[in-house]
Amino acid sequence: MIKLKGIDTLLSKLDAHNKSEAFVKAADAYVKGGVSAMSKEDIDTTQDLDLQVTPCGDCTMCCTAPAIPEYEISEHDHAFTPKPACSSCVSLMNGKCGRYDTRPSICQGYLCFYSLGISDTSPVEKDVCWSILPIGDSVAVNGHTSDVDVAIKNPKVTDEIFQILNTGAFSAVILRDDKKAVGFDGTNGEVTQAEIDPRDPMAMSLLEPSARVIGHLQTS
């Protein structure tokens, strides 16, 4: 179940944070040169959000499901290495992050719906971890899973996709594993599919003309 009040609260906090002078400076540095162009102060600014509502418990999906490309690792993260999707992070030890207090900025900025109190179903139960994904001037929802084909057949997952899109707060829902991504467009209802580029696993290829339309959905 997706909690609408939780979404409104989150978006309000993000909006205020993202309009701050320090964040705008940090974001400008990122746009011009990626994480490597950001100072330690810039990175700290982008991480300065305390939004967690629900303890993670035994869930470690944010440490395994998402890919972490090399360009997302800053010069300040010397002990960290890139990883492909659907693989364990080198810092994951005994079901916990071995360097939680000094984890990289990409990890600190991972806004999981379950930990934020927006979804009341643990990612482990449905093998999908939803997170906020800014795309230009809009906000989409990224779903990381070990198998897209299995996930989209799970009623819990499809119900949450419809709930997310019906809020009108997000432009799209993107579900991805290590091989492909399936996107659900909240504007025109198109369902698109694109292959994951291992060289750039976080690329928004579903927004490109090359993405293949595989169907349509009704959200109301």
Q: pLDDT tens digits, residue range 89-147?
A: 888 888 888 888 777 777 877 888 888 778 888 899 999 999 887 665 667 888 999 99
In this predicted model, what pLDDT tens digit does every residue of 17-40 receive, in sequence order?
A: 666 777 677 767 766 666 567 677
Q: What is the mean pLDDT of residues 45-70?
A: 76
Single out the residue of 92, 121, 122, 119 nearest to residue 107, CA to CA.
Answer: 92
The amino acid present at 64, given as its one-letter code, is T
Helix (H) or strand (E) holding 178: none
More confident: 47 or 91 = 91
Q: Note the residue count of the chain.
A: 220
In this predicted model, what pLDDT tens digit does every residue of 182-197 receive, in sequence order?
A: 988 888 888 888 887 6
pLDDT for res 151: 94
Tell me the pLDDT band of 48, cut-offs 50, 70 and 90: low
Please state whether beta strands 180-185 and 190-195 pair in parallel, antiparallel, or not at all (unpaired): antiparallel
Separation CA 123–CA 174 (nearest Å): 15
Helical packing angle, 4-18 and 21-33, nearest 10° = 80
pLDDT for res 157: 92
pLDDT for 154 beyond 90: yes
φ, ψ (nearest 5 deg) of residue 202: -100, 5
pLDDT for res 114: 87
Highest mean pLDDT among 127-136, 144-153, 163-172, 204-213: 144-153
Domain ranges of the chain: 4-216
